[in-house]
Amino acid sequence: MGLPEKVTIWEVGPRDGLQNESALVPTATKVAFIGRLVEAGLPIVEATSFVHPKWVPQLADAADLVDVLVADLGDGARDLPVLVPNERGLDRALEKGLRHVAIFGSATETFAQRNLNRSLDEQLTMFEPTVRRAREHGLDVRAYVSMCFGDPWEGRVPIDQVVAVGKRLLDLGASQLSLGDTIGVGTAAHVTALLGAFHEAGVGVGDLAVHFHDTYGQALSNATAALRAGVTTFDASAGGLGGCPYAKSATGNLATEDLVWLLTGLGIEHGVDLARLVEASVWMAGELGRPSPSAVVKALAGSSGA
């Protein structure tokens, strides 16, 4: 069928999924959630972000979270990726002996200004020393680029603009670029066109990951288009946790369970125990006091866990 034989799922639930929760989630709950996700076989679980508590109060416990994870899971917990917005965030990651970090940029001018208080070019200038120092210390660096398909202020984002920003992030030294449909407006044809433009610009599909939101119910369709283009790394959030504060009625990230169901049906290896993953999401939904939006969680767990 021309599809990949194996896919890596990059689980973002503990960081991206929880960061916009209004009620603070206890550190112990986050630790337990991460542990359950690791036990379900997810190969990469993004743990937290070393962002200033003023901007993301939910992640103010990042340092304590890492300490508890290392105590509970051992040294392997230092391989769990964390987001670092700048050099100060990197300093904190280095202090904890972490080995994988990520930076978060924007494909549009407006979101760069609103999210980072930097222009499109200034954000890249800010990231340069962060990436350089991280690589000098032997850390792997991932780069997220948001608003790759649409921006709530600027509308549809030109493909060549996304490619230009993405290439500059890779040129800084990032090992992988995650393309985010932040407000969930992407379609399969748009995904195909964007990935094709990166290919024409000399960026190998192995350097790319995709990060879809399901605002318009297109996340699985978009994931299928990405599979057909050869993408092998997919961001997803257990139970569909998360959402975008800039998209009205956004239903959250692509649910990891829904992605796993799709991959299993296509015969693509992913290494995740779906039953244990559903258990983890049902448990977390109970902790948050609301149902999971994941269709697969609802179907497999029944109304009591949905």
Pairwise CA distance, residues 117 & 76, whole Å:
35
Domains annotated for the chain, with CATH where assigned, are 8-273 (3.20.20.70)
Task: State yes or no: is 244 an active-site residue.
Answer: yes
Question: Residues 121-156: pLDDT tens digits?
Answer: 999 999 999 999 999 999 999 999 999 999 999 999
Pairwise CA distance, residues 175 & 203, whole Å:
11
Q: Which pLDDT score is estimated for 251?
A: 65
Catalytic residue, from 220, 244, 282, 300: name it: 244
Q: Which pLDDT score is estimated for 248?
A: 57
H or E segment to which residue 176 belongs: strand 176-180
Q: Is 290 exposed, middle or buried (0-12, 13-18, 19+ CB in 10 A)?
A: exposed
The C-alpha angle 281, 30, 24, rounded to 5 degrees, equals 105
Pairing outcome for strands 82-83 and 100-106: parallel
Pairwise CA distance, residues 223 & 216, whole Å:
14
Q: Are 294 and 280 in contact (CB under 8 A)?
A: no
Mean pLDDT in order along the chain per 10 residues (306 residues): 94 94 94 98 97 90 97 95 96 97 96 90 95 97 97 96 98 97 96 98 98 95 98 97 67 93 98 98 95 94 57
Structure tokens, 202: 């000399």
Taken in order 36, 33, 145, 168, is the CA torsion positive or negative? negative
Q: Which pLDDT score is estimated for 142?
A: 98
Q: Which pLDDT score is estimated for 252?
A: 85
Residues written for the chain: 306
Pairwise CA distance, residues 142 & 7, whole Å:
17
Coil, helix or strand at residue 10? strand
Residue 18, amino acid: L
Q: Is 125 exposed, middle or buried (0-12, 13-18, 19+ CB in 10 A)?
A: exposed
Structure tokens, 143: 């780069």
DSSP secondary structure letters along 259-282: HHHHHHHTT-B----HHHHHHHHH
Classify residue 284 by its DSSP letter.
H
Pairwise CA distance, residues 162 & 144, whole Å:
12
Q: Which pLDDT score is estimated for 257?
A: 98
Residue 114, amino acid: R
- Within 88-159, strands assigned E span 100-106, 140-146, 150-151, 155-156
The CB density around residue 68, as the number of other CB atoms within 10 Å, is: 18
Structure tokens, 195: 């990935």
pTM (2 d.p.): 0.95
Taken in order 55, 57, 63, 67, is the CA torsion positive or negative? negative
First CA to last CA distance, the chain:
34
Q: Are 272 and 9 in contact (CB under 8 A)?
A: yes
Pairwise CA distance, residues 241 & 15, whole Å:
10
